[in-house]
Structure 1
Amino acid sequence: MDTRKVQITGKSTYIVTLPKKWASKEKLKSGSPLSIIYNDDGSLIIKPPRVEKGRDIRKIKDNKNLEHLKRDIIGLYIVGDYKSIEVHGEHLSGEFGNEIKNLCNRLVGLELAESSNKLLVIQNYLDIDEFTIEKGIKRMSSIIYLMFEEMYDAFENNDRSVCKDIIKRDDDIDRLFILVSKQFVSRLSLRKFSKNDSLSLIEAFYYRLAGNDIERIGDHISKIALHYEHTEIMPDVLSQLQEICMDLQNLFMDSLESLRRSDNLLANQLLERGEEINGRLAIVAQSADNASINMIIDSFGRIRDYASNIAEYSIDLSQL
């Protein structure tokens, strides 16, 4: 680590020299603009001009494995900062183009701009300044709240017609979670991130963890809807599941509130409520008479675990 002494010129100008090795590597010269970011802990981040610029094109070769190609594109979307991605190959079939187009629809800001037998061009139109980690978590939680609400109504009215809608909403959760992950990686690598993002790096880390738990909660609500769509449940068991659904909805929303406020007291109360819900799930499990009901109970238990995880993150943040 280099150290520098502060120099003062005039009455109010503070000067610190830059390490020559770093300045040479970044090709700085007189008049080069540097970006300075203020951190909550009092530290500064100095970024050279090239860090502000997104990289233009990333070229990848088709290895004839569609799933591998899709994973590579998702990885480049999250970790990279490219304006476009080019996929080169000798036999890029129509199936490849359609699958990549569907993938782009799941990734905010990506669009398949060109498709041929030898070239696929994916353009990145995402403006990261319009998105923050906090906004992403808030939007994800709103969708989860709605999924809980619809699941509760389905149980109350013994109505399976909404199950497909609930399952479809999970796609929106996945899209937002990938975007939250992309934003977090940008923070870690000190590339361009939203000027509206007020989270410290430590807070961003815990919000990213919470995003993962929210995404998993969406998966399990979707799984509950899938099993319920094809399962007959006795009225007394259905009534108990309905009450647990509402209590888990409240537990989830309160856990996010504890995270937002870094509220240690509320978080500990939520962990106790989670244990009480676990006990009730165990009682319902004794009345379960088929595998699908057991799967629903198991998913409710997993949701309880993920909501409790979010509460525990707020306890950690309260120590800052």
Structure 2
Amino acid sequence: MDYLIGVEIVEDTDEAMTLEIMLDYKRMSTMQILQRMFSIDRSMLLDLGKALKNMDTDLAKDIIAREKEIDRLYFLVVRQLKGAVEYQQIAEKLGIESQRDCLGYRIVVKVLERIADHIENIAKSYIRLSDIQKETQLDEFIDLTNDVVATFEKSVQALFTRNDEMAETVFDELKKVEKSHSDISKGLFKIEDIQSAILMKTMLDSLDRIASYSGDLAEVAINMSTEIS
């Protein structure tokens, strides 16, 4: 799939995979692709929690492989937005109500791409950590991952529905994540193995960045809801 230009996975379940030939970048709306990117990011995050809980490095490797699909979709959306900015007809065909929204969508697609990068980074760090410590207990990381998932879901829901009130609550969720990040970070100083501590700090910081990106999505949601009110 990596080298099949124009072929995208539009649905992937345990029972079937649906592919679509997308040589024409206008065949799917921008929102459909963003929703697909969110779905992949979310599944990667949820599986990350499972991998940490079950000490499953194979699942972590599968998470890493999925990041490539996000990259393909990212470049597709960037191509769409470039056309939408230049031509109103293309914007309308892509479901973009106003060309002013292109800036917001440009931020969103970059955020979704960066979130996938950080999930990949966590998975890679976890695999290296498991090589050092076969029975690593990461209960606090699992709890934090669950909180990050919830914050991410809320920010995206606020964005897709342009609900500024819901978006505002995301910042309250971020305070909880920041406290957990601080508490876990302090505990890392007690770990004797320096390499393990560094890998865990890398994982922790990436989780914190994902949460921060959720805040960025909430800000876009607020800005877009203001434009239509």
Cα distance in 2 between the residues matched to 1:198 and 1:206: 11
Measured at CA, do residues 317 and 192 of structure 1 come closer, stay the same or move farther in structure 2, by a change above 3 Å?
Answer: closer
Which residue in 2 is equivalent to 1:218? Answer: 116
C-alpha separation in 2, matches of 1:234 and 1:280:
19
Runs of 4+ in 1 over 4 A off after TM superposition: none
Which of 34, 37, 49 is the equivalent residue of 1:137?
34
User: Which fold has the larger relative contact order, with Cα–Cα distance below 8 Å and residues 6 or more apart in sequence?
Assistant: 2
Deviation string for 1:99-141 (max 9, x for gaps)? xx96x54x536xxxxxxxxxxxxxx971233111101100000
| Pairing 1:149–2:33 present | no
Task: In structure 1, give the amino acid aligned to 2:44.
Answer: M
Contact 2:25 2:79 in 1 (8 A): no
Query: C-alpha displacement at 1:196, in angstroms?
Result: 4.9
Spell out, residue by residue over 1:60-115, the C-alpha distance to the aligned partner (whole angstroms, 9 max, x if none). xxxxxxxxxxxxxxxxxxxxxxxxxxxxxxxxxxxxxxxxx96x54x536xxxxxx
Q: Which residue pairs with 1:185 in the alignment? A: 82
Query: How do 1:83-98 and structure 2 match up within 5 A?
Result: none
**Alpha-carbon distance in 1 for matches of 2:143, 2:28:** 35
Question: Match for residue 203 of structure 1?
Answer: 101
* 2:157 aligned with 1:284: no
Compute the TM-score of the two structures, normalised by the length of structure 1: 0.59
Candidates 151, 155, 167, aligned match of 1:251? 151
TM-score (norm 2): 0.82
User: Is there any run of 5+ residues in structure 2 with no aligned partner, and where?
Assistant: 8-20, 192-196
- Contact 2:26–2:80 at 8 Å: present in 1 too? no
User: Is the contact made by 1:186 and 1:192 (CA closer than 8 Å) also made in structure 2?
Assistant: no
Q: Which runs of 5+ in 1 are unaligned?
A: 1-100, 110-123
How many residues align? The count is 203
Amino acid paired to 1:239: D
Larger helix proportion of the pair: 2
The amino acid that maps onto 1:307 is: S
Distance in 1 separating the partners of 2:94 and 2:57: 41
Q: 1:248 Cα shift?
A: 0.9
Which of these two proteins has the greater Rg computed from alpha carbons?
1
* Structure 1: distance between partners of 2:206 and 2:94: 36
Quick one: distance in 2 between partners of 1:130 and 1:314?
A: 25
| Contact 2:30–2:94 (Cα < 8 Å) also in 1 | no
Amino acid at match of 1:210: V
